[in-house]
Amino acid sequence: MAAHIPDPYLMYARLREKGPIHRKVSRYGHDTWLVTGYEATRSVLLDPRLSRNPHHAPQWMRDQELTGGGVLGINLLASDPPDHTRIRRLVSQAFTRRRVEALRPRIQAIADDLLEDMARYPEVDLLESFAAPLSLTVICELLGVPAKDSADFRRWTRETMIPPIDEESKAVLRRGTLAMKDYLTRLIDEWRGRTSPRLAPDEQPTLTGALIAAMDEGDQLSDQELQGTLALLLMAGHETTVNLVGNAMAALFRHSDQWRLLRETPDLLPGALEELLRFASPVEMAMPRYATEDLTLAGADIPAGGVVLACIASANRDAAQVEAGDSLDITRPDAQAMLSFGHGPHFCLGAALARLEARMALESLLRRFPGLKLACPPESLAWRHSAVRGLEKVPVVLG
């Protein structure tokens, strides 16, 4: 669903001026606490009194299907220590930097093929023609999903990330969740039969096989944990990267001086990517946290059961942490992604893959189409209603 909505970053900037934390009434009539300052957001992501386990969520969130369960089931994002520690340790055996780096040649080959196909047209949608198929192909090959199933995977991913704001959206979410769960069950069964016990997790041909093989002192992932982990890797490894590339290019088009500077000085790209991650992160809001006891956060008293929403997008632009945070500057000497990949125990395991894909995507676009420009007024771009902040389309003229 497309909607021409004002840039929420402007709203966050106004909220930050009034303080780092704000009591807000949800659309369901219950209090929540929105955290917009950097230090307060960082504290939220570290505080063990703020749980990610849906069992600690208030009943009204469970009634409205707002706990982020569904297809994700038991996974890293919806657990606390010691379960979170155990699952993360097992997943880390399989999803290593070595496995990510080994993808580099394949990512480049996929990008080159997509750009060659794009060159046949004077104008394309950068998301549909490049960012989405690049990211989807990479994650499907990584997990061992056949290419013929990738289109279904993308549809289910988008359906499972629709906010359940009414009965229609809840029905779409349930449909995508059931389809995804059924497929992942079959995928696990298939790769369980093809996983070699003689190979270490990092040597298995697919990440699914590596997760099946991962064991530590007799522990291994249960079927529910395995399914939840695969779903999380699929959604986080696909949707966030698609929208990182789309948001980054849209930000550069809006700041034409920065786009021109990057074209003229491509060596700036590593720092530019960190700045774009900070400035245009596809992760607008961290997953909700639930207070397990009465606590005080940034001067606000939060009761046990209170829902805390940490706004990554706002924290990344906090002027107390980064000078002129609402400005895009790809030459920042200390450019960093800030909190775009989270912080603390829930820091994103896929950060290395996201950085690699995004950097190679932007490098390839710069090299192949240096005259690339937006095909519509920036203010006409439509934001998508989703758990991940991204645009419906990014129409471009190839030049």
Residues 267-282 have pLDDT tens digits of 999 999 999 999 999 9
Query: What's the CA gap between 320 and 234, in Å, rounded?
Result: 35
Residues 61-81 have pLDDT tens digits of 888 777 766 556 678 888 999
Mean pLDDT of 164-173: 86
**Which region among 83-87, 222-226, 311-315 has the lowest average model confidence (pLDDT)?**
222-226
Helix 104-118 to helix 132-143 angle, to the nearest 10 degrees? 150
Which residues are 374's β-sheet partners?
396
**Total number of domains in the chain:** 1
Higher pLDDT, 218 or 83: 83
Residues 207-216 have pLDDT tens digits of 999 999 988 7
Mean pLDDT of 90-109: 93
Residue 72: per-residue pLDDT: 63
Q: Return the percentage of the chain with pLDDT > 70, whole number.
A: 95
Which residue is it, tokens 């029905």?
171
Nearest to 56 by CA among 346, 344, 306, 347: 306
Query: What's the CA gap between 290 and 56, in Å, rounded?
Result: 6
Whether the CB-CB separation of 395 and 124 falls below 8 Å is answered with: yes
Higher pLDDT, 135 or 154: 135
Mean pLDDT of the chain: 90
Residue 1: per-residue pLDDT: 37
Predicted confidence (pLDDT) at residue 2 exceeds the cutoff of 70: no
Pairing type for strands 395-397 and 289-291 reads unpaired
Phi, psi dihedral angles at 338 (to 5 degrees): 60, -120
Nearest to 362 by CA among 110, 111, 104: 111
Residue 201: per-residue pLDDT: 87
pLDDT band at 4 (very low <50, low <70, confident <90, very high): very low
pLDDT band at 354 (very low <50, low <70, confident <90, very high): very high
Residue 153: per-residue pLDDT: 84
Predicted confidence (pLDDT) at residue 33 exceeds the cutoff of 80: yes
Predicted confidence (pLDDT) at residue 386 exceeds the cutoff of 80: no
Most confident of 107-111, 215-219, 233-237: 107-111
Residues 180-189 have pLDDT tens digits of 889 999 999 9
Predicted confidence (pLDDT) at residue 134 exceeds the cutoff of 80: yes
Tokens describing residue 134: 């690049």
Residues 284-316 have pLDDT tens digits of 899 999 999 999 999 999 999 999 999 998 999
Predicted confidence (pLDDT) at residue 3 exceeds the cutoff of 60: no
Predicted confidence (pLDDT) at residue 385 exceeds the cutoff of 60: yes
Residue 264: per-residue pLDDT: 95
User: Domain containing 51: what range?
Assistant: 2-397
Which H or E element spans position 367?
helix 351-368
Residue 69: per-residue pLDDT: 60
Query: What's the CA gap between 225 and 399, in Å, rounded?
Result: 47
CATH number at residue 57: 1.10.630.10
